[in-house]
């Protein structure tokens, strides 16, 4: 019902979390004249220094595609004329105060983008998700947002150059 509502509302991009969801959306968009833009939410198996209940980047997370499903997702996307893959997304958790896990997640996303590019599915957008920490106690220090943006941007620029990929639109939450 949610996917049908999203399509009826004209949602610009739909984030796909699983092969089942991809199949349902492919079926719903099969006869459409305009392809629906989609992003894949991947689970990059990245550990983040945060509480276990808000860490969502591990392979065991119920959110997102496991990396082993990327090839199957690519095959299904190539066979789904009603879907247009535009990007990759990950969310590794919340209340993360260090940049390292985000940079690692971007490395995984860029590796996946390179694999998809070779399959004929170029990526134009990439998102390491949200989760940058917000201090709730006097012991916590707010991350430097400018330094975060600079480091994340640099990771994407260097990562794309190393993989021979065009620069995607970087989406930060």
Express each pLDDT in 53-77 by its tens digit.
434 444 555 567 888 999 999 999 9
| Residue 1 placed within a domain | no
Q: What pLDDT does 97 receive?
A: 74
pLDDT tens by residue, 79-125:
999 999 999 998 876 677 787 888 898 999 999 999 999 999 999 99
The more confident residue out of 7 and 63 is: 7
Which domain does 130 fall in, by range? 7-172
Q: Strand 83-90 and strand 169-172: pairing?
A: unpaired
Q: What pLDDT does 55 receive?
A: 45
| Residue 167 placed within a domain | yes
Q: Which two tokens stand for residue 62?
A: 């119920």
Q: What pLDDT does 92 receive?
A: 76
| Residue 12 placed within a domain | yes
Q: What's the full length of the chain, in residues? A: 173
Q: What pLDDT does 62 receive?
A: 55
Q: Which two tokens stand for residue 68?
A: 């082993």
Total domains present in the chain: 1
| Residue 107 placed within a domain | yes
CATH classification at residue 52 = 3.20.20.10
117 burial class (0-12, 13-18, 19+ CB within 10 angstroms)?
middle
- For 60, the 3-state DSSP assignment is coil
């Amino acid at each position: 019902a949610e996917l049908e509502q999203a399509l009826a509302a004209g949602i610009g991009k739909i984030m796909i979390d699983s092969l089942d969801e991809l199949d349902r959306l492919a079926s719903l968009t099969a006869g459409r004249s305009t392809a629906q833009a989609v992003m894949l939410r991947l689970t990059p198996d990245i550990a983040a220094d945060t509480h276990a209940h808000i860490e969502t980047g591990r392979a065991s997370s119920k959110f997102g595609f496991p990396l082993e499903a990327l090839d199957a997702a690519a095959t299904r996307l190539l066979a789904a004329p009603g879907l247009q893959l535009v990007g990759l997304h990950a969310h590794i958790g919340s209340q993360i105060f260090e940049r390292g896990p985000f940079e690692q997640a971007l490395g995984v996303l860029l590796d996946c983008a390179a694999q998809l590019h070779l399959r004929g599915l170029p990526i134009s957008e990439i998102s390491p998700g949200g989760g940058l920490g917000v201090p709730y106690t006097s012991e916590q220090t707010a991350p430097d947002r400018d330094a975060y943006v600079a480091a994340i941007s640099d990771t994407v620029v260097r990562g794309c150059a190393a993989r021979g990929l065009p620069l995607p639109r970087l989406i930060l939450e």
